[in-house]
Amino acid sequence: MLQPLRLAAAGLAFAAMHTLTPAQPVSIVGLVELSGTGATAGTNYNNGVKLAIAEINAAGGVLGRKISYSAWDTQSNPGIAKSLATKAIDQGAPLVMGPVFSGSILVSMAETRRAEVPNVIGGEAAAITQQGNPYVFRSSFTQAAAMPKVVRYIRDSVKARSVAIIYVNNDFGKGGRDMVLKELQAADIKVLADISTEAGQLDFSSAVLKAKQSGADALFVYSNEEESARVLKEVRKQGYDKPVIGETTLANDKVIELAGEAANGVVAHVGLTPDAPNPTVQAFAKRYLDEYKSKADHNAMKGYTGMHAAKAIFDKIGKIDSKAFAAAMHGASISAKQYPGVLFDVKYDDKGDLDRESFIVKIVNGKAQVIETLKPAAR
């Protein structure tokens, strides 16, 4: 009789041990530009994701499960981004974060869509969410939402009746250029010079000279961080004295660092800025600075808020389920009061685009200063 009792007791003990075993972690993959032309943007985005995950795990994780995060370097190469997306799917990732560069996203998101895996991305090209992909979600404004605000500033504050455009000839740059052209035309603002430049370009003397010679009332610059800084230095070198206006990238801290005094006076619309007059944002900026010994930028904020938004959706559906996640993310409203990590109240639409506050900033003495806060478009 004792033998069966011992066996039963052993079985109960094993069952108890099995029940008490910590839940398996949720394995999330980041496809990020840690090298190549997108290294600045990708590294900061990745740092933001990691900071968010550290906070989420410290608070108990997602549905009681810790997050395990692996960051894979796309090398700023769309082909590599695609192959890494396939690898993430094969490893069973229920969520993919990144890439940041639009060209890579347009390729890699086909793989996450095929596998029905949600993909929270950092890119802004309008084309990303115009293809009916139900599994791609932004952590930043689309160009279609940002450019009307830029043009409104050019028309109402600068009072320019003509502009010159310098843009980078990649998916990001061409998408922004197309959107700003559309909005400028609607505002009856003439484009006197439409100047294409290349990713990684070093010499912008010809591009700036063309803009200067056009006689336009203002210059709109839309390029990646390093190239934007080179444009601004050339603008200063040639003595260009008209207003220089841009979007988020132009007011990036990396641009300010590289351009030095040449960045002063630049004005840009930004969807996210660590300089926002918001206590929650300021607290995030301090934590980021303490952790990485560098100031957060909009890319870091994309990764951070995107990961916290994902946590909110998993909480909402009550399970780690990719298809249910995607369905719940469409039309979702996430409150910054309930989920401070999203930093601002945010609402997603049926395409994966988002709406929230944004800002007009001006570079003064090497620092971005918020000069205007813009309400969400829906208000």
Amino acid (1-letter code) at residue 201: Q
Please tell me whether residues 157 and 100 are part of one structural domain.
no
Residues 150 and 242 in one domain: yes
- pLDDT tens digits along 301-320: 999 999 999 999 999 999 99
Spatial contact of 313 and 327, defined as CB atoms under 8 Å apart: no
Judged by DSSP in three states, 277 sits in coil
Give yes or no: residues 285 and 233 share one domain. no
Tell whether 94 and 64 lie within a shared domain: yes
The residues pairing with 270 across neighbouring beta strands, listed in sequence order, are 359
CA distance 361 to 344: 17
* Residue 16 falls inside a structural domain: no
Q: Is 367 among the domain residues?
A: no
The pLDDT value given to residue 376:
87
Last residue of a domain, one of 239, 270, 301: 270
Three-state DSSP state, 135:
coil
Domain check: are 181 and 219 in the same one?
A: yes
**Looking at the domain assignment, is residue 291 inside a domain?**
yes
In a domain? residue 373:
no
Q: Please state the domain count of the chain.
A: 2
Together in a domain, 155 and 135: no
Q: What residues form DSSP beta bridges with 221?
A: 166, 246
What pLDDT, on the 0 to 100 scale, is given for residue 23? 83
Residue 377 clears pLDDT 80, i.e. is over it: no
Mean pLDDT, the chain, as a whole number? 93
Of 216, 246, 270, the residue at which a domain comes to its end is 270
- pLDDT tens across 159-189, in order? 999 999 999 999 999 999 999 999 999 999 9
Same domain, 54 and 117: yes
Cα separation, 182 vs 194, in Å, equals 13
Same domain, 103 and 51: yes
C-beta separation of 322 from 94 below 8 A: yes
In the chain, the amino acid numbered 297 is D
Q: What is the CATH number of the domain that holds 153?
A: 3.40.50.2300
Residue 128 lies in a domain: yes
Q: Give percent of the chain with pLDDT exceeding 70.
A: 94
In terms of residue numbers, what domain contains 37?
Answer: 26-141+277-356
3-class secondary structure, 327 = helix
- Does residue 13 surpass a pLDDT of 60? no
H or E element, residue 305: helix 298-317
pLDDT at residue number 265? 98
The tens digit of pLDDT for each residue in 117-146 reads 999 999 999 899 999 999 999 999 999 999
Q: Which of 245, 270, 295 delimits the end of a domain?
A: 270
Given pLDDT bands bounded at 50, 70 and 90, which one contains residue 22?
low
What φ, ψ does residue 321 adopt, rounded to 5°?
-140, 115
Q: Is 6 a residue whose pLDDT tops 70?
A: no
Model confidence pLDDT, tens digit, residues 61-91: 999 999 999 999 999 999 999 999 999 999 9
Residue 80 forms part of a structural domain: yes
Q: Are 158 and 238 found together in one domain?
A: yes
DSSP 115: T
Whether 328 maps to a domain, the answer reads yes
Give CA–CA dist 40/249, Å, rounded: 11
Residue 100 is predicted with a pLDDT of: 97
Provide the pLDDT for residue 244.
Answer: 99
At 230-275, the pLDDT tens digits run 999 999 999 999 999 999 999 998 999 999 999 999 999 999 999 9
Q: Are residues 118 and 155 in the same domain?
A: no
Judge if 135 and 149 occupy the same domain. no
**Same domain for 137 and 148?**
no
Give, for 326, the enclosing helix (H) or strand (E): helix 322-329
Rounded CA separation 363/255 (Å): 11
Residue 374 lies inside a defined structural domain of this protein: no
CB contact at 8 A, 39 and 77: no
- Residue 3: pLDDT above 60? no
